[in-house]
Each structure stands twice: as C-alpha cells, then as structure tokens.
Amino acid sequence: MISLNVNGKQHQIDADPNMPLLWAIRDILGLTGTKYGCGAAQCGACTVHMNGEAVRSCVTKLNRAAGQQIVTIEGLSANNNHPLQLAWNELNVPQCGYCQSGQLMSAAVLLRENLNPTDQDIDDAMSGNICRCGTYQRIRAAIHKAAHIQQEAAKI
Amino acid sequence: MEPKEISRRNFIRVSGLASAALCLGVYFPASAKEEVIVSKAAADARGIEMNAWLQIDTDGKVTITDHRAEMGQGSFQSVPQIVAEELEVDLKDVNVIFAQGNPKKYGSQITGGSSTIRGSYKQLLHLSATARTVLIMAAANKWAVPVSECYAESGNVIHKPSGKKFHYGELVVDASKLEAPKEIQLKKISEYKLIRKPLNRRDTPIKTNGEAIFGLDKRLPGMLYAVVERNPRMRGTLKSFDSTAALKVPGVKKVFKVQMKVYDTTRDGVVIVATSTWAAMQGRKALHVVWDDSGFEHVNTIDIVKRQEELLKTSEGISFKTQGDPDGVLKQSSNTIDVIYQTPYQAHSAMEPLNCIAHYQPDKIEVWGPIQAPDWIQGNLSDEFKIPKENVVVNMTFLGGGFGRKAFLDYPYEATLISKEIGAPVQVVWSREDDTTQGPFRPGIAYRCQGAIANGEISAIKFRVAGQNLDHWQGGKRDKPNSSTDEGFVKPYFNSIKNISFSDINFELPIPPMWWRSVYASTHGFGYESFMNEMAALAGKDQLDFRREYLKDERCQKLIDRMEEVSGWKSRKKNEGYGVAITECFNTTVGQIVKVSRHTDGKVKIDQVWAVMDCGWYVNPDIIRAQVEGSVLMALGAATIHEITFKDGLPEQRNFYNYLMPRMSDMPPVEVHIMENTADAGGVGEPGLPPFSPALTDAIYDLTGNRIRKLPFDMNKV
Ligand code: FES
Ligand code: FES
C-alpha cells in the first residue's frame, strides 16, 4: 500500500511503486485532468505540483511521490478562479486544450515565485511545456495578465 | 420517392412529443440535391431520419447538436454562436452536445478541409431563423395580433405595442403545429449581435480546470487498457512472438496478434491487454517479437530525395493543367530560372496521442475517441464487422489536436478488433513513440519550377511535382495526376499568367502518406509562392507589387492593400528583411508578411508576422486569430525544426527529444487581420499555414541574399 496525498486528500493505493505518478493519478484515482503527452519528461502535459514544485508526473515514480503533497489541475483552485485560470479564460488561451493543464501548473509555480515575470522569465519557466496548437502568444499574455490580477488582489 | 409535402416551406407538423416540443433538423434526402429542413414530428410521421440539430424544450431550454469534432478549431463555440444569433436566444442558455457519426443525418461530418463552418452555416442560419419565425407566429396567434407587431429577443417573443411577452418554452407546443412561411427572413450582417463578435469560447472553462474529457480520459465500466507493438517498418509481417514474460507482469491479462488495416495494407501487431495503461506498457516491454520484413523496399530519406530530383530532371509527368504554351516560350527565352524546391515528411504529433475505446458486442459496436471522421468510421466498422450501420455508434470526445491524423479509420478499427477478441470494452493507447513512428505521414514533396521573364513580365511558368499521391492510396488511378496538384496556388493567377502548366510525376513508396493540416497546400505553398518571389526578383520588381500585378481580382487587390498597410511594407528599413506570400486553400486566401532581422547575438530572428485572411463570411474573429496564430507556429516547426527521416525503412524520430517542437521562446509575434466581406464562408483552421514558410524564406533572402529552397532549415545558421 502506498499512501498518496493528492489535492489535500489522503489515498491508500495498491500499486507497483515504480509506476509513474501520472498513471496512478489518471487510472487509479480517476483524475484525468493531468495528461499523458510523451512519457519522457519532454512535453510538460503531465505537470503537477509536488510540495509546491512543478514536476513531470510521467517520470515521477510512486515511491517518490508517496507521502508528499501533490496538487493536480483539479486542485489548483476551488472554483476555476486562480488568477491564471481567470486570465486564461479572459484571453481564450486554449485551442484543443490538451496541453493546458500542464501549462497552467507550470505557470502557477512561476507566478508564485515571481510576482511580475518578464518575457524572458516566461520563456525560461515555460520552456518545458509544448503546445502543438501554438497558443504560446496567448499563454504569454495571460501570464502577464494573471500577474496583474494577482497584484490588484493583493492591494485590496 | 420522397414524400412531396416535406419541403422547405412545409416543414413542420403536429408534434406529439412529450419531451422536446420543438425539434428541428435537416433531412438529407438520398435523391434530392438540396437538403430539407424538417421537424421531428414530420420526420417520425414519414419514417425518415433527420438530425436533431436544434431542440427547444417546453421550459425554453435550447439544445444544439454539434455535428463536427472539436479539436481546437472552435466548432463548440462557433456553431452555437450562429444558432443563437438567428434564433434570438442568449448564448449562455444554449446547450451543446456532440453528435454521433451519421452521414444520413448530418451529411458529411468529417472535420477536415476546414469545413466545419463553411460546410453548414447556411443550413444552420436558415434552421434557426425558421424556428424563430414560427415561434413569433405562435405568439401572434395567441395574442391575436399581427405578426409584424411582434419580435423575438433573448428567448422571448415580445408584442411591441403592449410589451407583453412569452418565453419560447411557452410557445413551442403551438409553434410545432404551424407551417413556416415560404420565405424566411435572415438577418443582415449589420444586424448581427453575436456573429462576427470575438465572444469567449464556451469550452475554455473546462479546458482550464481539467474537466474536459478527451479520448484518453473517457472511462467505461469494466474497461481494460491495451497497447500494441506494431511492425516498426509499417509493412512487414509478424513471424513469431513470445508472451511468457509479458503475461507475468501484474495486471496483464492477454497477449495476441492483431492486424490493423491502413488503406489496403495491413499493419501487423501484438496487443497487450491489461488492467491499467501502465501495466500494459510494462507488458509490452517484456514482449519478444520477431518480424519478417522481406518483400518490400526499406526506404532511406537520402534515396527518396535523390529519386525525386532525378525524376524532376528526366520526367515530364502527367499534365494536370496547361494554359498557353509554357514549353515553347521557355525554349525561346533568355531570361529564365530553373530551380528545385524540397519539403520533408512530417508526423502530425497532436498533443493527445492516438487512442480509441471500442466496445464490441455481437450485434452492436460502440466506439469513443478523439475522432475527426465519425460518419466515415461508422461506415467502415459496419462494412468490416458486418453489423448494420444503425448498430454502430461512434462517439466523439474532445480531441487533443487532430491535424488530419484523426480523420482516419485505422485506430478505431484496431480497437474494435481487440474488443471483439477479449469480449470487453477496451481503450487502446498509442504511446508518443507509436504516434510519431507509425505514420501515415505527410509526404515530402519536391518541385521543379521553371520560369521566364520578358520585359519585366512573366512570360511562362512550368511546375512539376514529385511526391506521393494520396489519391493512389484511396483507389485513384495511376495514370491520373494528383487531384490537388495546384492546391495552395491562388486561382486569380490563372487569369493573368498566359503560359503556365502544372504536372504531377508518379512517385511511389511503401510508406503510407496522409493529409496533414492544409494538406497539399502545406508543401505546394512553399514551392509555388517561393518561386513567385524568385520571379519577382528576376523581373526586378517589389514582391508585393508583383502580386498586385498578377492577382487582379478585387478581393486579392484589397487583401494586398491591407497587407501593405498593416505591415508598413513601404516604409521598411535597411537591416530588416521583409518577405511575402499569398496562398489559397479551402476557399480562403491568406497573405502573410514576415519581418526578420539579425540580432546582437548574430542570429536571425523573426520580429513580426502579419497575416491577413480573407475567408468571406465568418463567425468569431477571435477564434480565427487563434487558428492563424497556431497555423503559423505549426508551419514554423515544419519549416525550421522537425522532419521525419527514414533509414532502412524505419522512421528515425521517436519522441519529442528527437522530433523537436517549437517552444515558447520560438513563438514570433503574430498579428492577424480579417477582411470584411459577404462572400461565401471559406475555411479557417488550415489556410493560415501554407503562406508562412515561403514568406519567412523570402524575408531571409531579403536580409541575407540567401534563397532557401529546402525545408527544414536551421534558423541558427542563416
Ligand atoms: S507526459 Fe510527462 S512530460 Fe510529457
Ligand atoms: S492547446 Fe492544443 S496542444 Fe496546447
């Protein structure tokens, strides 16, 4: 039995400790917002937070994830109202949408550590996330917008 | 014989339905050219099958069935935007559900050829306006007032003089008993409140919180998971396999041979069925397979390219189109060019790898997946498994990208075979490596372009094309030229270039080819439009003025003016390279201007892309902008970052570590402009792609004097 804490909920799962976290989240816990894109830490579609850091769940083995705080896209906010989610909606970022959970999870770490990221910061932080539909221009704009929303909220 | 009384003006009959009081759809008669709008009740009475495109319940709830796939191109937003406009309801009150595959009900449903809107907007407008009209009539009858005193707004019919109102739900029962008038008044473009507005997409919220269900996310009770080890050379046969170790992997249930049909070839594979995706993948690792790869050519990219070059030098090919006498003129000209352009093979690489769920039962098949061609799949599964079409249900989930690859039959067919063998629903998952290496691929094509200039004018152009012909894989005759030989070429050129010819040289390989976003325009555009830029240079003319001279029709002239205006073409500076290209496909013309410069690190960078699209009538400008932004990025990848190469019959690229993708820092700023006119709607999802690579290489030529004629090339080395 492996104990997993995902989005604040404790789970006991019976699985191979070498199974990547991605498949446990998707096939065992049924949280399908986290996507499989490459299985090789190349695309970022499977990005989740482990103790607040962005990790590629397709190469994170269950035994490493056990007992850690895991957050998936389903746990990013209570109501689809993280500043990034608000900005994503306002600027119509997604096309097919498949990469977007990963994009949002990577951007969330950037925005937490850098209240006002520059274009260069965004390039660096987001370079691990592929979008085949080519939404990069909007992702960039939405991260800037989210930074703004976050700053405004902090003033209140 | 179709019943006479079911016609456009007599479309509605007493509705005896309890749930859906007003349900309108379109019926595609087998014999008639034009489809007919019909109510559910009339259809039931006649025993005909119609689609339920639009349904209004007694509580006023509106449900629209989206007959096309949603793969990012926005049908989930643009279809309701059209309906809500003419129906006069608030967009937020409209529900959307995906249709199942059924060409009898929806006509073609293939999400390809950029056809979602251009293929059905007229029907949707008419259908919605018809519903609005009968609802107004029903209200006028109830109040006993003239129809002219009533109007519809936000799901209500309002009596103007008195301010009385009924909501649609209160009217549907009466409305369904009425006959619609002969002439239905459609709104003018100037009256639109929703169409042509950049409204937010309704699928965005569920694509930002993980809720949207893609093919890979779909789950069924009792569903098993499968992965397939398929022949890596795509053509060989299975000699033997040893499943002993695979079957020992916990969770692995069954291992057996499966044969997937790809066109008329067979792809042999061994499937591992397990209780989870991971277990199946582990089982696959433990599997030992021996292939027999004899009896077909093991191709190498080097040889493909050489053979194409050879053919272009020695063969005339099959004529596709000849106007005037280009051969004669070329022979007598002194001011000529004769060059070869080359484009590579490409994988589609949608972010969501291929996958499909199938549930085979003795008298019924149901499939779920990221599917672009539900109607086509229904027909194929019905034929292959000898099950009547009405018992083959094809469900579309959201697609994590498609780009043409998901408009194919192979993966649902294979999944159904596997489900049949195990007697349970199964999800077949393609790994990224499977998705990258198994094809079918966009074919790499080479072009020989010859031209002559006399007195600063084009006197002749001769194009020859050597590349795999998709027609041949779909039953097309070998003595016919590729039916898309001039795809991408802007039609009005033909009115002003007197001597021009296109021919297609037969070029066969054992690799299955396939359509890829914008199909042949994706490669032809590079050859043909790059060559136009070379001709302009030979004539000593500005590339944009050169286009103006040869694209004389009004829409093109306006497009060129707009391109010039938005890009500041005339005021461009030294040290800036500007390039241009205009292509046409799926009834839409797109012009792009790319600006490059050499940055302080010595590298040439794309500073700006301006795209001007003329797609005629359109729905949502923001979705169009997004599609063009994405098309540019996809074209950039194919022009400068990745290609599929073959060695000894094997694709050499396997995953994103060697089939590289453009990243955030590669995205150039893209500014999109849309031409305003009332011409028939053209496509939106694909036509933004082809002009990019010729415009980019033209810009590089403008800056460096170096003409790039082979894709992909390395931006770091120009
Ligand atoms: S699926 Fe994990 S990085 Fe691509
Ligand atoms: S939105 Fe489709 S891959 Fe990013």
Domain co-membership, B491 together with B574: yes
DSSP string, B184-233: --PPPGGG-SSTTS-PPPTTTGGGTSS---BGGG---TT-EEEEEEE-TT
Domain co-membership, B503 together with B599: yes
Distance (Å, rounded) from C-alpha B529 to C-alpha B200? Answer: 35
**Domains, chain A, with CATH or none:** 2-74 (3.10.20.30), 83-155 (1.10.150.120)
pLDDT > 50? residue B5: no
Mutation choice for B interface testing from A38, A63, A106, A127 by most B CBs within 10 A: A38
Residue B564 lies in a domain: yes
Identify the pLDDT of residue B31. Answer: 43
Distance (Å, rounded) from C-alpha A8 to C-alpha A71? Answer: 8
Lowest mean pLDDT among B18-22, B109-113, B295-299: B18-22
Residue B246 lies in a domain: yes
Confidence of residue B21 (pLDDT cuts 50, 70, 90): low
Residue B535 lies in a domain: yes
Identify the pLDDT of residue B9. Answer: 30
Lowest mean pLDDT among B86-95, B227-236, B518-527: B86-95
Mutation choice for A interface testing from B201, B203, B248, B278 by most A CBs within 10 A: B278
Residue B434 lies in a domain: no
Domain co-membership, B340 together with B385: no
Tens of pLDDT, residues B650-676: 999 999 999 999 999 999 999 999 999
Residue B201 lies in a domain: no
Final residue in a domain of this structure, among B429, B460, B481: B429
Given an 8 Å threshold on Cβ–Cβ distance, is B351 in contact with A27?
A: no
What domain range is B412 assigned to?
218-295+354-429
Identify the pLDDT of residue B28. Answer: 52
User: How many CB atoms neighbour CB B393 within 10 A?
Assistant: 18
Domain co-membership, B38 together with B98: yes
Domain co-membership, B381 together with B272: yes
Residue B420 to residues B220, B373, B415: CA-CA distances in angstroms? 16, 22, 9
Domain co-membership, B307 together with B288: no
Identify the pLDDT of residue B114. Answer: 62
Residue B212 lies in a domain: no
Q: Which secondary-structure segment (H or E) carries B97?
A: strand B94-98
Confidence of residue B42 (pLDDT cuts 50, 70, 90): low
In chain B, how many domains are there?
3
Biggest distance spanned by C-alpha atoms of chain B: 84
pLDDT > 60? residue B125: yes
Distance B435 CA to ligand 1 centre (A): 14
DSSP string, B357-394: EEEEETTEEEEEES-S-HHHHHHHHHHHHT--GGGEEE
Q: Are B293 and B232 in contact (CB under 8 A)?
A: no
Cβ of A101 less than 6 Å from ligand 2: no
User: How many CB atoms neighbour CB A15 within 10 A?
Assistant: 19
Contacts with A99 from chain B: Cβ below 8 Å: 351, 400
Which 8-state DSSP code applies to residue B542? -
Given an 8 Å threshold on Cβ–Cβ distance, is A97 in contact with B656?
A: no
User: What is the value of ipTM here, to two decimals?
Assistant: 0.98
Residue B460 lies in a domain: yes
pLDDT > 80? residue B25: no
Cβ of A94 less than 6 Å from ligand 2: yes
Tens of pLDDT, residues B695-715: 999 999 999 999 999 999 999
Cβ of A99 less than 6 Å from ligand 2: yes
Give the closest residue to B105 by CA, choosing from B414, B374, B383. Answer: B374
Instruction: Nearest by CB to A126, from B206, B402, B664: name it.
Output: B664
Identify the pLDDT of residue B57. Answer: 84
Distance (Å, rounded) from C-alpha B515 to C-alpha B441? Answer: 8
Identify the pLDDT of residue B92. Answer: 87
Identify the pLDDT of residue B19. Answer: 44
Residue B516 lies in a domain: yes
Lowest mean pLDDT among A152-156, B361-365, B464-468, B614-618: A152-156
Tens of pLDDT, residues B305-350: 999 999 999 999 999 999 999 999 999 999 999 999 999 999 999 9
Domain co-membership, B606 together with B639: yes
Given an 8 Å threshold on Cβ–Cβ distance, is B73 in contact with A100?
A: no
Confidence of residue B55 (pLDDT cuts 50, 70, 90): confident
Which of B208, B216, B351 is the best mutation target for the ligand 2 pocket, counting ligand atoms within 8 Å of the beta carbon and taking the most?
B351
Final residue in a domain of this structure, among B196, B226, B247: B196
Q: At B645, which CATH number?
A: 3.30.365.10
User: How many CB atoms neighbour CB B684 within 10 A?
Assistant: 30
Confidence of residue B48 (pLDDT cuts 50, 70, 90): very low
Ligand nearest to C-alpha B431: 1
Domain co-membership, B480 together with B568: yes
Tokens 């500005």 identify what position? Answer: B542
Q: Are B354 and B411 in contact (CB under 8 A)?
A: yes
Domain co-membership, B450 together with B539: yes
Which of A35, A106, A133 is the best mutation target for the ligand 2 pocket, counting ligand atoms within 8 Å of the beta carbon and taking the most?
A133
pLDDT > 80? residue B626: yes
Final residue in a domain of this structure, among B406, B429, B452: B429
Tens of pLDDT, residues B213-262: 999 999 999 999 999 999 999 989 999 999 999 999 999 999 999 999 99
Domain co-membership, B643 together with B595: yes
Lowest mean pLDDT among A44-48, B57-61, B178-182, B590-594: B178-182
**Which is more confidently placed, B426 or B30?**
B426
Residue B127 to residues B61, B89, B96: CA-CA distances in angstroms? 17, 14, 16
* 3-state SS assignment for residue A132: coil
Identify the pLDDT of residue B11. Answer: 35
Confidence of residue B27 (pLDDT cuts 50, 70, 90): low
Identify the pLDDT of residue B111. Answer: 61
The residues, ordered by sequence, that sit 6+ positions from A100 with a Cβ below 8 Å of its Cβ are A88, A93, A94, A131, A135, B207, B208
Tens of pLDDT, residues A56-89: 999 999 999 999 999 999 999 999 999 999 999 9
Given an 8 Å threshold on Cβ–Cβ distance, is A96 in contact with B351?
A: yes
Residue B480 to residues B120, B318, B467, B477: CA-CA distances in angstroms? 31, 7, 14, 6
Cβ of A130 less than 6 Å from ligand 2: no
Domain co-membership, B410 together with B474: no
Distance A95 CA to ligand 2 centre (A): 6
What average pLDDT is seen over chain B?
91
pLDDT > 80? residue B46: no
Domain co-membership, B653 together with B604: yes
Instruction: Nearest by CB to B661, from A30, A74, A130: name it.
Output: A130
